[in-house]
Amino acid sequence: MRNELNQHGVENLYVRRDRRSRTGVACQYKDPRFGFKEFTGVKQYRGLGSDVTQAIETARKLNACLIPLVASAKVTLIVNTAKTSSKSIKLSTWLTQYTAVQEDKLKSGALKPNTWKVRRGLINRINKAHGKYKLDAITTKLVKALLDSYLKEGKVRSAQAVRSVYIDIFTEAAQAGEVDSMFNPAKTTKKPVAKVTKSRLSLSQFEQISAQFDYKPFKLASLLALVTAQRRTDLCLLRKFKGSDWEERFNKYKENPNHFIDTNDAGDSFQKLVRFAPYSYLENDYLHVFQLKTGKLLKIPLALKLRIIDQSIHDVIKLAHHNIESDFVLHHTKNRNKAKIGDAVSPILLTRHFKNARDKTGINWSSTPASFHEIRSLSERLYREQGIDTRQLCGHSEQKMTDAYNDLRGSDWQIVKI
């Protein structure tokens, strides 16, 4: 119980007798911040003189300023203590489980191989940045800092991809009961916006690039992409005829597009497609296209001609015939590294050598130089000007690609009208 000198009712104010002072008493203020690591260098007591009335007024003002700061520090201490003792698992531990979930999706056909290939790399980046934190200690601020590190380097697409994967990581964690269903700090971040920077390819530029190819199969592959408007992998798998194995491949693919994927095998994915996937083929004056990305089945007349270059699909396929025994329309005419004469030309090689030929032209691109895939866009524009139904030719659908990928719709071939 306070003595008679301290019956003033003001917290942190202490009055004691002092014969040396003018009034016979001395006033002291006990700083409430003393002892908190957030407030370094704070003395425990401060002298307020010998005038009790003045000291009471000063102490009240100090309390009004300092007590809220101390309360805030106490809250922070309590919250941090709770997080330290949290039973939540580390992000790195959860990412191991999350990876297993993704691999199961890959095996069941719910996740595309290329999507998983990219996602696996992003998981490693997230783990490197935040793996040491517990799941419930990941904050929106932490996620934003990671995204900003990509944005500062101009990697907007990478930032978008990291954000998307981070959101899915917490969505899966909530489903597994590792975090609250409403806890998703990545979802709170603003989605990075990317401007389209890739240059469109013109016919003149295509012709300049084509002239730079030093290996005929690559040049013909580019030309075939232009007259068919099809994707590079579908063209690389294109065979001269339909084999007896096609129906079996197609049926297995309908059941599970990834039935031949081994998550522990880092081998050549294109060679697996050659061995197991349904393929495009030539039959009865039609190019039968099986689109691996969407599962669509197209029959394109070989007579379809791109008038602006005065060449048909049939003309280009005839040019690709090199009197070499091969099942593939686009095949090697020389032994090159691991590829032998007659082997299918791989999509990766096409992309690489298109870039080499493109760089030799010295074309001054206004933004990101056009890639091999831009040939498909160029073809679509040229055929549209010609009056062809390019949505049908390209196999585009109003459905989302993910839905179309998993819905192969039986075995109905859609005939492209010319």
**Catalytic pick from 112, 134, 219, 231?**
231
**Catalytic pick from 90, 125, 299, 396?**
396
Q: What residue spans define the domains of the chain?
A: 4-84, 91-188, 203-415
Are 233 and 373 in contact, with CB atoms under 8 Å apart?
A: no
Domain 91-188 class?
mainly alpha
Q: What average pLDDT does the structure give for the chain?
A: 88
Q: Is 60 a catalytic residue?
A: no
pLDDT at res. 78: 67
Q: State how far the Cα of 178 lies from the Cα of 130, in Å rounded to an integer.
A: 17
Q: Is 396 a catalytic residue?
A: yes
Of 155 and 354, which is predicted with more confidence? 354
Q: Is 405 a catalytic residue?
A: yes
Interior angle at CA 36, CA 31 and CA 42, nearest 5: 45
125: exposed, middle or buried (Cβ count in 10 Å: 0-12, 13-18, 19+)? middle
Q: Is 286 a catalytic residue?
A: no
Predicted confidence (pLDDT) per residue in 21-48, tens digit: 889 999 999 999 888 777 878 889 999 9
Round the CA-based radius of gyration of the chain to a whole number and report it. 35
Strand order in the sheet with 13-17: 13-17, 25-30, 45-49
- The pLDDT of 266-289, averaged and rounded, is 89
Domain 203-415 class?
mainly alpha
pLDDT band, very low/low/confident/very high, at 376 (cuts 50, 70, 90): very high
Q: Is 376 a catalytic residue?
A: yes
pTM for the complete prediction? Answer: 0.68
Helix axes 140-151, 156-175, angle to 10 degrees: 160
pLDDT band, very low/low/confident/very high, at 404 (cuts 50, 70, 90): very low
Are 232 and 339 in contact, with CB atoms under 8 Å apart?
A: no
Of 180 and 86, which is predicted with more confidence? 180
Predicted confidence (pLDDT) per residue in 166-201, tens digit: 999 999 999 999 988 889 999 999 998 876 667 789
**Catalytic pick from 125, 293, 305, 336?**
293
Q: State how far the Cα of 126 lies from the Cα of 104, in Å rounded to an integer.
A: 21
Q: State how far the Cα of 13 lies from the Cα of 30, in Å rounded to an integer.
A: 6
Predicted confidence (pLDDT) per residue in 61-80, tens digit: 999 999 988 888 778 766 66
Q: State how far the Cα of 78 lies from the Cα of 31, in Å rounded to an integer.
A: 21
Are 119 and 102 in contact, with CB atoms under 8 Å apart?
A: yes
Kindly tell me if the per-residue pLDDT of 408 is higher than 90.
no
**Closest alpha carbon to 388 in 316, 319, 288, 312:** 312
pLDDT at res. 405: 32
